[in-house]
Structure 1
Amino acid sequence: MALPDTAPLLVGLLLLFHAFGAWAIVEVNMEDKVEVMAGETAQITCMFTTDEGLGGTTIQWFYVLPNKERQRIYNKEPMHEAAEQNTLFTHRISLNVNGTAAVLAIRDVGVRDNLEFICVIKTLTPEEAEGRTQLQVFKSPTFPTIEAVETGISVNEEAPSKIGSCRVKNGYPKPNITWYRNNMPLRNTPPEVVVTSSTTIESSGLFSVQSELTMKVKKEHKDAVFYCEVIYFVPGATKMTESQHINITVYYLPTEVNIWVESPKGKIKEGDTLELRCDNNGNYPSSITTIKHQNSEYSVENKTMVRTNVKRLDGGVYECTFEETDNFDEISGSTKVSVNYLESAVITPKDSIAVMEGEELKASCNALSSLQTSTTWFKNEKLVSKGNTLSVKSATLETAGMYKCVVTVPEMEGMKTSSTLQVNVKGSPQILGPDVQEVETYETTVNLTCSATGFPAPTIMWTTSDGKNLNALQTETEDGAQSVVTFKITSNVKVFCNASNDFGSKVVEFNIKTIVHTTPTATTTTSTNTITDDTVQTPTKSPNIKKESKGFVIAIIIIAIFLLAILGSVLYFLYKKGRICGRSGKQDFSKRKSSKDNIVVEMKSDNTEEAILLGVNGEKQQPNDQ
């Protein structure tokens, strides 16, 4: 609605109120204070009532200057509203009117906005009302920092000594600092405890506070924990922050010296690394600490002594002495150290023992020790007996072997010693494996192994079935002997392993079968007659003939067969012509068996039963009836 249209109406209403002598009633209600954190938006509410309604109401906002004067910052009339120019709030405020509530919003508040604000409500009549609200701005301070004195403090100081200082910065309102020792607050009670504080107002209007603690130090303060506590305010609450905890170094003379074994924990054994530590109930900077072994006068000027690979003689009394170098007063303490030991295991009888088969085996094992021991016997890594004594009522060949005695200390891990005993059982040899062993081979050379047990170690001999002795290599084993023989074979053969000692002998038979590769028999064929040599065989492998030589022999045999065939053909041709026996006619040949060195061919006539036998060399052989 335009101003010219409403002005006459407003003037008319004013004259009407004057004519009747009636004034409007206006009331304003506001909170006493509004609390807000710095940087946030503050909202100050002005609640008002008027019987004139909202049409002619004017709302004005002011803040109070330090000289108590008012400074208007916002004006809202029925037809116009705006923030006042050139004030602290010109660009940070806005007004929101909702019914009878006028809310002034102030953005990005700071400690400078910690002021009193006034809301004034006016009507068309001269009647007006106002309300006041104090805006309180809060800023949390930084985390407190604490610094302790770097040097030690002597209990002999007469004046109070500085313990440390505590500082907190940029808080609003001003934070408060309280000192604590072991969770108990410290009050300013000179000369025992003196607390001094100073406050700095920063250019931003925030407060920084520093506090210093001095006090007379006593021996019981050596383990005390000091810290400071900062109390500060936030909207509607009080908060507290603790600084880090600090300790101080207190110097005082000891009244007692202690020395102990730091490691190993528990019992000590030979070979361990021994570490001794020494300490006292004092704390004095000008002093010397010495640890000394009374038995050997071995000593170190230190609070720690380390001895590696200790022996039993390193046991005994160790003494620690504290000496302050101002007046050369001394105080000492001592402890006794025991070094446990386990000597080497000793087996009786020593090294080895020989018993007859069937007799009793008995041996003992002992090791000198400072502690209780436990003894076990092993054979081939298997437990065979417990206790110091090894006993076998009736020894057998299986009893023989290497036995190991292990002595341990049950209550101390790592304490162990051992020794070995070779047990030999006198008796006739035994050969491993069956009495008859079958061996098949394609090779011309065979390796045979024969292992025999027995004591004394048996002698192993190799013989063949035809009585031939074979040379072999024999080695002694843990429980007997072993022999390996290598020889060449050309046919099936039996070989015997004979193991013997003073108490008897044992024989094992090896049946060796050769597997021979054979080639098909070569034949020669003519047009009507066939001559074969059934006696020709492919030669077997020979250990002294190379593969190339075997091929050469086969080729020679084939050539010989061809020559014989040609010779037979020539003889037959001459016979047909009658140049051998003067006869003609049809003849046939029949094959007869011959030896490898002599081939005989029989020739028959169709008309007679006469026969002419020809040898390989071409000579005539007369029949019985020529």
Structure 2
Amino acid sequence: MAVRDAASLLVGLLILCHTWGAWANIEVNMEDRVEVFRGDTAQIACMFKSSEGIGAMIIQWFYVTWLGEKQRLYYQDSTTKIPERGTPFTDRISVNDTGASGEVVLTINNVQLADELEFICLVKSLSEAPGEGRTKLKVFETPELPTIQGVQTGISVNDDGLSPIASCLVTNGFPKPNITWYRNHTPLRNIDDEVKVNPSSTSESTGLYTVSSQLNMKVVKANKDDQFYCEVTYFVPGGIRMTETNRINITVLYPSTEVSIWVDSPKGKIKEGDVVELHCQGNGNSPTEIMTISHNQTGQIWDGKMLELHNVTRLHNGQYQCGIVELDTMEEIRGVTSVFVNYLDAAVVMPKDTILVTQGEELKATCNALSSLQTDTTWFKNGKVVTKGHSLMLKDATFDTAGTYMCVVTVPEIEGMQTSEVLHVKVQGPPKIMEQEHKDLEESVGNAVDLSCNVRGFPAPSVTWTTSDGKVIETATKEETEDGVHSVVSIEVTSDITAFCNATNEYGTDAVTFAIKAREGRGVIIAVVIICILLLAILGSTLYFLYKKGKICGRSGKQDLTKEKSSKDNIVVEMKSDNTEEAVLLEVNGEKRPPSDQGGEYLDVQK
């Protein structure tokens, strides 16, 4: 009896001890969530505290399916480490302890969207109550860049209700991206009768999301300069990122409330002959507007917003109106501008064309041109300024006064605006032959010499050419100049000549004398000189040859070769004339001998 009671007490003590141990739980700690990009590797850590070593622990990993069921994927005890067969993770997981007491890590390779589940770490021991921890795995995928597409047609402010503005699209994101519309940096929200945003999303077969959004608005004129764009926000491990589309404008159609018309070309003052370009523009933007330009002076009407007037005159002066009619409402608005064409009439010189002035008298002329602007007048002669002002006054007229005067009238305010007229001045007086540079000439016989005579005078003098013996020389050329006559003759020189240029008109006469001295031709003299030089050269050569051969000064024509050669070899030249029989014997070395002394050969040179 005592032994049985003792055994019962021992069992009770063991049961009591076991019950006290069950009251101590294993403490398990895990992160609430682990975030990772699709395709990356996820590591889920399970940390626990126990009085027993890890070798006495039983560790199991589970995941919760989409249906809420708990499915084991890994088992581990002191002798076994086994992945559960037949799960989506069987070939992609591994469990390792970190070496630290009380920590194991579940590693999942190549994470997919379907892996976004809750994972459970369950830890058991023999003497402690089991502990459990949970971690949610979050998977992310960065979406493609968003795109925006505005409406291609214009949007009228007169449209009833809301009008489509643009659509925004973002694809292949996870979790689902968000789209926010902006107008000029201000986010747009739904406002009754003003703004409506219609979002939509689609889950692709890959599990990724495509999100689109349509913006609708009641358009007003102020929207013509607005910029619209989309902002897309999406989640990434550890935070949120944002990207934006490009900015777009919309075409807003609205009627004009004001219209302007102006002269676009030329800039500044207009002159006759210009091309004038008028432009017309309203402050609206409507395809149903009709625009015309009209001239109040003539009543002419042109269609369109631009009018080009060619070669304008003062008849184009007046008001030009631009009218715009809105066909939807048949309302008309008008704008007005004035056009003034400046003019400069042709210059008028008085007296006209040609004026005759007698030598010594005074010349008076005037030049005027009507203009819409202030003018300047300048008189020119031969390109040089004579005087400035409308009047031309020249005192004590001379032949130098004669000529062509040009009156030029300009408008300083407008470049290129000018007119001109000419006045021909003739000064009446007796002929005056201009001073000649060469009146005494010398020319070879047989050559021709040109004589010119420049005569001033009006009426144009009559010019004749004569010689000292009264013969008339025919004029080669005669040209009337601005203030007289220019006459030229050509004379062949046969002997000394005296020629006269005679000029006469109704007011008097004048003459000039030319003296021409004839000289022998140079060609004959040169030829004679050359012949003489050649003859002397031949003569000298012959004498020297005969001298060297001993043919001169010997009586028998022979020389004694043994006889010492005389230092005085004689050469005798007999020179005869046609009128005498005398012969003059000359010795080459300067000694003279009588003819009886020669006895030898001699050279007979006859003239």
Q: Normalization by structure 2: what TM-score?
A: 0.64
Is 2:150–2:250's contact at 8 Å kept on the other side of the alignment? Answer: no
> Structure 2 regions of 5+ residues with no counterpart?
1-25, 50-58, 540-573, 584-607
| Residues 597-618 of structure 1: CA deviation (Å, up to 9, x unaligned) | xxxx324379xxxxxxxxxxxx
Task: Report the secondary structure of 2:522's partner residue.
Answer: coil
Preserved contact between residue 589 and residue 603 of structure 1 (Cα < 8 Å): no
Change (3 A) 1:505 1:159: same
Q: Which among 229, 248, 265 is matched to residue 251 of structure 2?
A: 248
- 3-state DSSP class of the match of 2:416? coil
SS, match of residue 412 in structure 1: coil
Aligned to 2:264: 262
Following TM superposition, by how much is the alpha carbon of 1:355 offset from its aligned partner in structure 2, in angstroms?
A: 3.4
Quote the Cα distance in structure 2 between the aligned partners of 1:105 and 1:446. Answer: 127
Tell whether the 8 Å contact from 1:431 to 1:452 is kept in structure 2 after alignment.
Answer: yes
8 A contact 1:153–1:250 mirrored in 2: yes
Structure 1 alignment gaps of length 5 or more: 1-24, 51-58, 530-587, 592-600, 607-626
Q: Is the 8 A contact 2:145 2:170 kept in 1?
A: yes
Q: Determine the structure 2 residue equivalent to 1:474.
A: 478
User: Shift of the alpha carbon at 1:485?
Assistant: 2.8
Task: Give the letter for the 1:516 counterpart.
Answer: R
1:221–1:250 CA contact under 8 A, matched in 2? no
Name 2:353's counterpart in structure 1.
351
* Paired positions, count: 510
Aligned pair 1:602/2:579, yes or no?
A: yes
Q: 1:141 aligns with which of 136, 144, 147?
A: 144
State the alpha-carbon separation in 2 of the partners of residues 350 and 151 from structure 1.
69
Using the TM superposition, give the Cα deviation of residue 212 of structure 1 relative to its aligned residue in structure 2, in angstroms.
Answer: 2.1
**8 A contact 2:115–2:137 mirrored in 1:** no
Hey, what does 2:228 align to over in structure 1? 227
State the one-letter code of the partner of 2:198: T
Structure 2 counterpart of 1:505: 510
- 1:508-519 alignment to 2 at 5 Å? 509=514, 516-517=522-523, 518-519=526-527
- Following superposition, the deviation at residue 251 of structure 1 comes to 3.8
Q: Please say if 1:485 is aligned against 2:495.
A: no
Q: Structure 2: how far apart are the matches of 1:224 and 1:426?
A: 82
Shift in Å at residue 368 of structure 1? 1.0
Q: Deviations for 1:515-549, whole angstroms, at most 9, x for unmatched residues?
A: 63231458999xxx9xxxxxxxxxxxxxxxxxxxx
Q: Deviations over 1:219-270 (max 9, x none)?
A: x346342412223347666333243322233244x44443333333332222
**TM-fit CA distance, 1:397:** 4.0
Which residue does the alignment assign to 2:391?
Answer: 389
Q: Name 1:408's counterpart in structure 2.
A: 410
Change (3 A) 1:242 1:128: same
Q: Is the 8 A contact 1:141 1:232 kept in 2?
A: no
Alpha-carbon distance in 1 for matches of 2:62, 2:448: 127
Write the deviation string for residues 271-290 of structure 1: whole angstroms up to 9, x where unpaired.
22223333344555545433
Aligned residues: CA RMSD: 5.6
The 3-state SS of whatever aligns with 1:313 is helix
Q: Contact conserved, 2:361 with 2:396, CA < 8 A, in 1? A: yes
Q: What is the alpha-carbon distance in structure 2 between the residues aligned to residue 108 and residue 477 of structure 1?
A: 112
Corresponding residue for residue 150 of structure 1: 153
Q: Deviations over 1:366-418 (max 9, x none)?
A: 21111122222333333343332334445554443333222222222232222
Measured in 1, the distance between the counterparts of 2:390 and 2:263 equals 34
Query: Structure 1 residue 322: deviation in Å?
Result: 3.4
Distance 2:513 2:121 in 1: 130
| Offset from partner CA, 1:188-247 (integer Å, 9 cap, x none) | 1122222212223334444333222223333x3463424122233476663332433222
Q: 1:26 to 1:341 in 2, by over 3 A?
A: same
Report whether the alignment pairs 1:309 with 2:311: yes
- Mapped partners of 2:62, 2:518: distance in 1: 130
- The change in CA–CA distance for 1:311 and 1:436 in structure 2 (over 3 A counts) is same
TM-score, length basis structure 1: 0.62
Q: Is the 8 A contact 1:148 1:246 kept in 2?
A: no
Residues 47 and 266 (structure 1), Cα distance of their counterparts in 2 relative to 1, 3 Å cut: farther
Q: Which residue of 1 aligns with 2:551?
A: none
Q: Deviations over 1:586-607 (max 9, x none)?
A: xx8743xxxxxxxxx324379x
Moved more, 205-214 or 107-116: 107-116
1:435-468 deviation digits (Å, cap 9, x = unpaired): 5475768983444544444444444444456654
Cα contact 1:434–1:508 (8 A) shared by 2: no
1:444 is matched with which residue? 447
**1:93-148 alpha-carbon deviations (Å, 9 max, x no partner):** 99999999999999998877878899999xxxx99999979565442533422222
Q: 1:188 aligns with which of 187, 190, 193?
A: 190
Aligned identity (percent) is 40
SS across alignment from 1:223? helix
Structure 1 residues 441 and 275 mapped into 2: Cα distance closer, same or farther (>3 Å)? farther
Q: Could you tell me which residue of structure 2 aligns to residue 271 of structure 1?
A: 273
Alignment of 1:557-568 (within 5 A): none
Is the partner of 1:342 in helix, strand or coil? coil
Aligned to 2:337: 335
Deviation at 1:426, TM superposition (A): 4.3
For 2:365, the equivalent position in structure 1 comes to 363
Deviation at 1:312, TM superposition (A): 0.9
Q: State the alpha-carbon separation in 1 of the partners of residues 266 and 496 from structure 2.
A: 73
SS, match of residue 373 in structure 2: coil
Q: In the TM superposition, what are the counterparts of 1:428-439 in structure 2 within 5 Å?
A: 428-429=431-432, 431=434, 434=437, 436=439
